[in-house]
Amino acid sequence: MGFSAIKAKALPMVMQATMMVNSLKQKVSGHRVKAADRIGESLRRCETEIGEIKDRLARIEGDLGATRRTVVTTAMAAPAQVAKAAGKAVSDAGRACEVAGCKAKHMARGLCKNHYYQFKRGSLVKSAGGYEKKV
């Protein structure tokens, strides 16, 4: 069998393979276009949702504007005024820690912040005479 005979048999196979490759390229290209379209739709939906969320946040910020001003004004008020606004006895506002020798401002249960956390951990106990370190 000579070269021309082999070439004659191989040429139709090469042509058929080329046609198959071109067909596959077209199918892949079509799938790429469809995928790109789906991704574009998803992005548009996300952008719409983000816009709606921004609008909601702007409305909420507007509603909170007056509340923020009230909170800041209250926070800057004197301790007695804050206590009165919170419904606490005014005498609690300037109260000192009940631990002997501590002059820090009271936080809870008659204790300053440091002694209150010691009490919570159990290293400070309340006795009849006041608070004392646990031995």
66 domain residue, yes or no: no
How do 130-133 and 124-127 pair as beta strands?
A: antiparallel
What is the domain count for the chain? 2
Q: Of 61, 80, 106, which marks where a domain is finished?
A: 61
Instruction: Look up residue 97 and give its DSSP letter.
Output: P
pLDDT per residue as tens digits for the range 17-71: 888 888 888 888 778 888 888 888 888 898 889 889 988 888 888 877 766 666 5
User: Are 54 and 104 within one domain?
Assistant: no
User: Are 99 and 51 within one domain?
Assistant: no
86 domain residue, yes or no: no
Contact 106, 116 (CB under 8 A): no
Which of the two residues, 5 and 15, has the higher pLDDT score? Answer: 15
pLDDT per residue as tens digits for the range 11-28: 788 888 888 888 888 888
pLDDT of residue 15: 85
* Residue 103 backbone class (left: φ over 0; alpha: ψ -120 to 50; beta: rest): alpha
Location of structure tokens 């608070």? 131
pLDDT per residue as tens digits for the range 68-91: 666 555 555 555 555 555 555 545
Owning domain of residue 49? 3-61
